[in-house]
Amino acid sequence: MSFNIYLASPRWYCAWVDRAIQILDGALKKYGSPIYVNHEIIHNKYIVNFFEKRGAIFEENLDNIPKGSIIIFSAHGVWPDFRAEVKERWLKYIDATCPLVTKVHTEAKHFVKDGYEIIYIGKKNHQEAIWVKNENPNKTYVVYNKDDVDNLSWLEWKKLALLTQTTLSVDDTTALIEYIKELYPDIDLPRAKDICYATTNRQAAVKEMTQYIDTLLIVGSESSSNSNKLRDIGEKKWINSYLIDTFEDIDESIFDNLENIWVSSWASGPEKLVQEVLEYLKSKGWIMKDELKTIEENMVFAYNLELK
């Protein structure tokens, strides 16, 4: 009996997460500590700890940031009042927001300017959803499932538009969008799909492999809803699926009666941690069998460290 490891590709940082990390790294080197960030730079415990040790301070409350400090806007974006307050407080900033998140903010702004109200599919406690709602709090309704949509039936819409969080489950969102379209056939949709390429590609890679494997190991963080989503994809196919921060979280009892393990990570999962998991599995007699690429991702985005 052989014990095989298969590796998903793509799995690592998306180009925008990579850019946000490089901006924080570059700012610490260029300007020294402390550098403030308005939220975890990405949802990954290891990366947050790593930067905290180097002098980054992840602080959501602007009251706690001294005047004149440097702040980086995390990949999850900010909203207009926040930007205005940053200026009022004489903070200097670098914007590391993912432009795919900015696109949804811009769409929200334009829709409301044109007299629309917005149904936004997203996780109510996720920063991206909270901050898009902050664009127009009285005209944006965040929904995550059919019950949430049903709870809006008392509203009398005049013009209605639909937006989604960039990092949701493609399958779940498609079903919910269809449900909303049935209820509100005239609803306006964004010109381009809101769910980002990185989410789509990583979920597709895991889904593709669920037909061949016994067990799925996702290297990610509980705080990342998308790491959880990758695990959910496995669970929906009745595959044993585990979310681990590092190789130290692997419970060896999961190896009983196993032949194939599939390893992947989310777009905010450092490749170093994935490689450590592989080394650990190899030390236990597992053999690296194959890396299966479902799509090529080779984007790189420029940045500059100029303060605004």
Provide the annotated active-site residues.
128
The interface region with ligand SF4, picked from 25-33, 50-58, 192-200, 276-284 by CB under 6 A, is 192-200
Cβ proximity of 221 and 45 under 8 Å? yes
Question: C-beta of 230: minimal distance to ligand SF4 in Å?
Answer: 12
Separation CA 195–CA 216 (nearest Å): 23
Chosen residue from 74, 166, 224, 227 binding ligand SF4 by CB under 6 A: 166
Question: Where in 73-92 is the site for ligand SF4 (CB under 6 A)?
Answer: 75
Nearer to ligand SF4, 101 or 243 (CB): 101
Separation CA 27–CA 223 (nearest Å): 25
132 forms part of the interface with ligand SF4 (CB under 6 A):
no
101 forms part of the interface with ligand SF4 (CB under 6 A):
yes
17 forms part of the interface with ligand SF4 (CB under 6 A):
yes
98 forms part of the interface with ligand SF4 (CB under 6 A):
yes
- CA nearest neighbour of 23 among 106, 86, 88, 98: 98
Question: C-beta of 268: minimal distance to ligand SF4 in Å?
Answer: 7
The interface region with ligand SF4, picked from 66-74, 191-199, 248-256, 276-284 by CB under 6 A, is 191-199
Nearer to ligand SF4, 40 or 117 (CB): 40
The number of angstroms, rounded, from the C-alpha of 295 to the middle of its chain's C-alpha atoms is 19
Which residue's entry shows tokens 């799995």? 11
301 contacts: CB under 8 Å, gap ≥ 6: 15, 16, 18, 19
CA-based angle 260:261:263, to the nearest 5? 150
The interface region with ligand SF4, picked from 24-32, 96-104, 112-120, 214-222 by CB under 6 A, is 96-104
210 contacts: CB under 8 Å, gap ≥ 6: 216, 233, 234, 237, 239, 262
Binding residues for ligand SF4, per CB under 6 A? Answer: 14, 16-17, 75, 98, 100-101, 166-167, 196, 198-199, 267
